[in-house]
Structure 1
Amino acid sequence: MENYTGIKTTMPHASDAARRRALADFVRTRREKLDPAAHGFTDLRRRRTPGLRREEMAQVAGLSATWYSWIEQAREMALSASAVSRLAQALGLSPAERAYLFDLAGREDPHPPAPDAFPPHGALARLVAGMPEPAYVLDGTWTAQVWNAAAADLFRGWLDGAAERNLLRFLFLDPAAVALIPDHAERTRRVLAEFRADTSRHLAEPALAGLVAGLMADSPLFARLWHAQGVLGREGGLRTFCAADGVIRSFEQVTLAALPGGRTKLVMLAPAVADGGLEPVAAPFFGPSESA
């Protein structure tokens, strides 16, 4: 397994100079807000500017004075993810400020702040409840926390009654999922690959580690697909379900980040429209073929 480098490769090269300037300005303004006495610097005489001096900031952050000066001078340099992390801690940044610092530095945070725990904002729950079409909210383990009446009606065995709320446990362990999803084999493969991509940096967390271990023990299909190492970005698109009345109903799925800085997802299903038409797509369901 390759070592994690913390290098973010998606930053456009054309913006490097502007990014370095923004990084320099951001770090300088935060340094000037720090209290020298709170960091053990008691000689407050002859200070021409507020906050810590550059050499003091470098000392607190565990960086060389030269390197820190280069940061504020917007020089071209290669900061490691660990150095950015130390700088963020020394500056006392909030989670949002820390994320901004890493973005400006062109690095991925190896230890991002933990997402806010549920329950979600009341406004989000009310928004979902008021939607006419199926909608639900997943937490970082892909367990449903909020859903509306339309979702409970569609997702029988998952969002109705006292069912298992974790999406993966429903898909891999509940026979109701096979009846609900006509293309169950393909959908489980894709969903698990999306789950791996979404949670890869957090799989050591107890909740996720326990979920994966339990599914490995309880579902041979999950174990086989997990060992296959499939990885896919979470995509929207057409989703088909066998409704309670035996009719195949098609929806366009849209997934959005529900809460800033967290891993909570709002999933919405809009009725699909036939090519050139205005009506939702629906078709009778006659069950799987003998050769399936």
Structure 2
Amino acid sequence: MTAADTLETRRRELGDFLRAHRDRLVPESLGLPGGGRRRTPGLRREEVAQSCGMSATWYTWLEQGREVSASASALSGLARTLQLTPAERAYLFELAGKRDPSLPAPPDGDGMDVAASLGRAVAAIDAPAYILDSLWNARAWNRPAARLFVGWLDGNSDRNLLRYVFLSPTARTVIPQWQERARRVLAEFRADSSRHLQDEGLQALVEELRRRSPYFARCWREHDVVDRTGGERTFEHPRRGRLSYEQVGFAVATRPDFKLVMLVGPAASGRGLAAPANRRSRDL
């Protein structure tokens, strides 16, 4: 893929993202009078532009994916007007190719390959743990994780988390409230994917899932973006029943494309399976 193709992909994604979030807001959210008939849902382009101090023409060009560049201050204004979450704001700046001025300077790294040492570290963890790469393929996992993630990390299953969640029949039984949690997983992946939209592997994965899963295609069009934060994760294990954990995620300083995920619980055993829990989880 050429540099021109990369820029076009980002501009198109940025326009779709802005339009999706504009459609979700109502005039009252900006202190504007409501009521009256509107041809389209949400805010008008002119209302967004006026609220963030941008010309309506310039904002329209951004939504249309034209060859224009918004400044960091203009993007900050858009983030406030569209009431973006921190994850959505980060996604906006990634798509626009700008650094968010509200963020601290990134740390330096030596870039060495630490995959082997990370694999050994994961194996030494008692709780279920695994490492995801930029496409959310599991690159390393331990035995407790293989026992927990039936149909994903056991046997010879496909190791991609998105394929597991959206395509595997097993996932729909293992993951309570599957639709809600699948939508959340995809919104988390979207936050990650903003850094490498031009990657051919990412584009191929998205196109495959859009073709094979109507629900994935629907959720992808919604442009939801959230951080992959911690919290309760509940599973319906085929042999142990309801299991509940707290998810903890770690960024890898020397491998920013890798993330370590651990699932710990107050009653986690050496076998990596927590005691049954009664509470439900909202996301994976």
TM-score (norm 2): 0.57
Change in CA separation of 1:103 and 1:215 when aligned onto 2, cut-off 3 Å? closer
| Matched-pair contact (CA < 8 Å) for 2:197–2:203 | yes
Change in CA separation of 1:284 and 1:5 when aligned onto 2, cut-off 3 Å? closer
Q: Residues 1-292 of structure 1 correspond to what in structure 2 (within 5 A)?
A: 1=15, 2=62, 3=68, 5=70, 7=72, 120-260=114-254, 262-272=256-266, 281-283=275-277
1: distance between equivalents of 2:103 and 2:69? 15
Tell me the CA shift for residue 160 of structure 1: 0.8
Change in CA separation of 1:5 and 1:156 when aligned onto 2, cut-off 3 Å? same
% identity of equivalent residues: 42
2: distance between equivalents of 1:107 and 1:130? 33
Q: Match of 1:7, as an amino acid? A: A
| Matched-pair contact (CA < 8 Å) for 1:238–1:272 | no
Q: Which runs of 4+ in 1 moved over 6 A?
A: 102-109
Change in CA separation of 1:108 and 1:197 when aligned onto 2, cut-off 3 Å? farther
SS in 2 for 1:282: coil
Change in CA separation of 1:192 and 1:173 when aligned onto 2, cut-off 3 Å? same
1: distance between equivalents of 2:69 and 2:191? 15
Root-mean-square deviation (CA), in Å? 3.5
Larger radius of gyration between Structure 1 and Structure 2: 1
Change in CA separation of 1:242 and 1:178 when aligned onto 2, cut-off 3 Å? same
2: distance between equivalents of 1:209 and 1:179? 28
| Matched-pair contact (CA < 8 Å) for 2:164–2:171 | yes
Tell me the CA shift for residue 283 of structure 1: 4.3
1:116-136 Cα deviation digits (max 9, x unpaired): 69x743221111001111000
Tell me the CA shift for residue 259 of structure 1: 4.1
SS in 1 for 2:234: strand
| Matched-pair contact (CA < 8 Å) for 2:166–2:213 | yes
Q: Match of 2:228, as an amino acid? A: R
SS in 1 for 2:146: helix
TM-score (norm 1): 0.56
| Matched-pair contact (CA < 8 Å) for 2:114–2:255 | no
1:175-227 Cα deviation digits (max 9, x unpaired): 01011111211110101011111112312210100000000000000001001
1:61-89 Cα deviation digits (max 9, x unpaired): xxxxxxxxxxxxxxxxxxxx9xxx9xxxx
| Matched-pair contact (CA < 8 Å) for 2:233–2:246 | yes
SS in 1 for 2:152: coil
| Matched-pair contact (CA < 8 Å) for 2:153–2:159 | yes
Query: Number of residue pairs matched?
Result: 186
Tell me the CA shift for residue 161 of structure 1: 1.0
| Matched-pair contact (CA < 8 Å) for 1:247–1:284 | no
- Report what 1:32 is aligned to: none
2: distance between equivalents of 1:224 and 1:103? 29
